[in-house]
Structure 1
Amino acid sequence: MTQVQRKAALVTGASDSRDIGTAICRQLASQGFDVFFTHWKADQKWIGILQRELEGSGVRCEGVEMDLSEADAAVQLLNTAQSSIGIPVVLVNNAAHSVRDGYENLDATILDEHYQVNMRTTFLLSVEFARRLKEAGMQGGRIINLTSGQDLGPMPGELAYAATKGAITAFMKTLSAELAHEDITVNAVNPGPTDSTWMDEGIREHLLPKFPMGRIGQPTDAAKLIGFLASEEAGWITGQVIHSEGGFLRG
C-alpha cells in the first residue's frame, strides 16, 4: 500500500465488546492504523473505554453514533472521519441490518430497512471512498465488505438479509474491476457463524458439531483475515469472496 504519513481506516458497526466490528478495530490499530468507527445504540461508557484502549497502542481513534439507514449517511460519515483522522485508506463495511422474516412476513418495510443499510450505504460509502482517494492523489486503498455465506446455501427466515448481502457480492465484483487501475482492491469476507452478540448457549450447542476444528468461529478470526486484506501483502487480491469458516459443515 502506498505509504502516507499516517494510515487511517474507517470501520462500520463496532457497537459491543463482543462483535466483529470491535475485533476489526483492534486488529487494524495493532497494525498501526488510525481508526474511525461507527456504532449504534451502544453503551457510551464502553465506547470511551474502547477508544482509550486503541489509543493506548499509539494510534488515533474516534467513534461516532450514526444511523446508516439515512440516505446521506455515507457522505456524512466520510466527512466526519476525514476531519477527524484524515482520508481513510481502508474501508471496512461491517455494519448490517438483520431481522427474521420468511415468506409469510416479508413486506416492503422489511425490504427497505435491509436495503438502506446493507446495500445503499455500503455501496455509496464504497464509491465515495474511492472518489476521495482519487481526488487526493492517493493509491493503494482497500475496500473490505462482510458477507454471510448466502451463496453457499439457503438461509430460511432471512430472505431480505440474504438477498441484500448477496447484492454486496455482485456489486463488489464489478466495482473491483472499475477500481483496479486505481490500485484500490475490493474484496469480501464471509466469516461463517461467529460467536458474537447474536449467539446464546443453545445456538452454540447446535452449531459446535458442525465445526470440524472443534470450536466456533471467534470475532478475532475474521479480524485477522481483514487485517491481512488491509495490508500491503494483499495488494494482488481483488474481486474475491473469501470464505473463512473453519470448515463449517452445512446441512
Structure 2
Amino acid sequence: MSHIQKKIALITGASSQGEIGTAICRKLASQGINIFFTHWNSDEVWIEKFQQEILRMGVRCGAMKIDLSDANAAFIIYEEILAKLGYPSILINNAAHSTSNDYLSLDAKSLDDHYAVNMRSNFLLCVEFARRFKKSNLESGRIINMTSGQDLAPMPGELAYVATKGAISAFTRSLSQELAPLGITVNAVNPGPTDSTWMTDEIRNFLLPRFPMGRIGTPDDVARVIAFLASDEAEWITGQIIHSEGGFVRG
C-alpha cells in the first residue's frame, strides 16, 4: 500500500482511548496523513495527550469538541479544519449515536436523537466535503462511512439505531454515483462487533464463540480496512459496503 503523504483526514468520533475513531487516527497518522478529529463527552486532558501522540508521528493534528446533533455542525467543522490545517481529501464518518429502543420504548425523541447524528450530520458532512472539493485543487477524495451490519441481519431492540444506520448504506451507494465524476470514492465499512469502549466481559463471552477466528474484532482491525479504502490503491472501489467481520456468525 502506498502511503498518502501529507494529505488531511477528517475523522469524527475519536473521544477516548480504545475507540475505533482513535485507532483510525493513529493508523492514518502512521502513514503520513495529517489528522483532524472531532470528539464529544471526552476528557480534555486525554484529548491533549492524544493530540501530542499524533504530533509525535510527524504530522499535523487538530481537534474540535462539537455536538454533531447541532444542525450546523458540518459547516462549523469545515470552517475549523480549513483554518487550522487546510482542505481534507479524506472524510471518515465514524461518530454515532446509539441507545436501545424496542417497539415498546421507541418514541419521537429517540428517533430524532439518532437521526440528528447518524443521518443528518453524516450526510451533510459528505455533501459539504464534495461541494468544497470542487473548489479545491485536489485530484482525488475518499469518503468512508460506518455501518453496523444492518444489511445482513435483524438487530431487535435497536430500532432507531438500525433505521438510521441502515440509511447510511443507501446514501453511500447513491452518493458514490454522483461523486465518481469528481474523483471521489464513497464507501462504507461494517466492522462487525468490535471490542471497543462499549463491550463488557459478559458481552465478550457471549460473542466470542461466534468468531471462527477465535477472537473478537479490535479497533485496529477496523483501522486497517479504513486505511486501505483511503489509499491510492482503492481508487477503483466505490459504492461498496465492506463487511469486515472476521467471519462473524449470526443467529
- TM interval, shorter chain, is over 0.9
Q: Which residue of 2 aligns with 1:241?
A: 241
Large movers: runs of 4+ above 4 Å: none
Q: Secondary structure of the equivalent of 1:242?
A: strand
**Secondary structure of the equivalent of 2:148?**
coil
Structure-1 separation of matches of 2:99 and 2:47? 25
CA deviation after TM superposition for structure 1 residue 139, in Å: 2.3
Residues 219 and 5 of structure 1: is their aligned pair in 2 closer, same or farther, counting only changes over 3 Å? closer
1:90-239 matches, within 5 Å, as 90-239=90-239
Q: Which amino acid aligns with 1:21?
A: G
- Mark the CA change 1:71 to 1:154 in structure 2 (over 3 Å): closer, same or farther: same
Deviations 1:140-190 (A, max 9, x none): 100000100011101011001001011011011010000001110000000
Q: CA deviation at 1:136?
A: 1.2
Q: Distance between the aligned counterparts of 1:246 and 1:127, measured in 2? A: 31
User: Displacement of 1:220 after TM fit?
Assistant: 0.3
Cα-to-partner distance string for 1:44-80 (whole Å, 9 max, x where unaligned): 1111111011100100111111000000000001110
For residues 214-239 of structure 1, what are the alpha-carbon distances to aligned partners after superposition, in whole Å with 9 as ceiling and x for unaligned?
00000000000000100100000000
Give the SS at the match of 1:238: coil
- RMSD over aligned CA atoms reads 1.2
Shift of residue 212, structure 1, vs aligned partner: 0.1
Q: Residue 235 of structure 2 aligns to which amino acid in structure 1?
A: G
Q: Which residue of 2 aligns with 1:55?
A: 55
State the shift of 1:6 in Å: 3.2
SS at 1:206 equivalent: helix
Whole-Å Cα distance in 2 between the matches of residues 211 and 7 of structure 1?
Answer: 35
Q: Does 1:15 align with 2:15?
A: yes
User: What is the TM-score when the length of structure 1 is the normalising length?
Assistant: 0.97
1:38-77 matches, within 5 Å, as 38-77=38-77
* Structure 2: runs of 5 or more not aligned: none
Shift of 1:137: 3.2
Aligned partner of 1:213: which letter? M
Native 8 Å contact 2:146 2:188 kept in 1: yes
Measure the CA separation in 2 of the matches of 1:37 and 1:4: 18
Q: Taking every aligned residue pair, what percent have the same amino acid on both sides?
A: 62
Letter in 2 for 1:188: A
Please report how far the alpha carbon of residue 5 of structure 1 lies from its aligned counterpart in structure 2 after TM superposition: 8.0
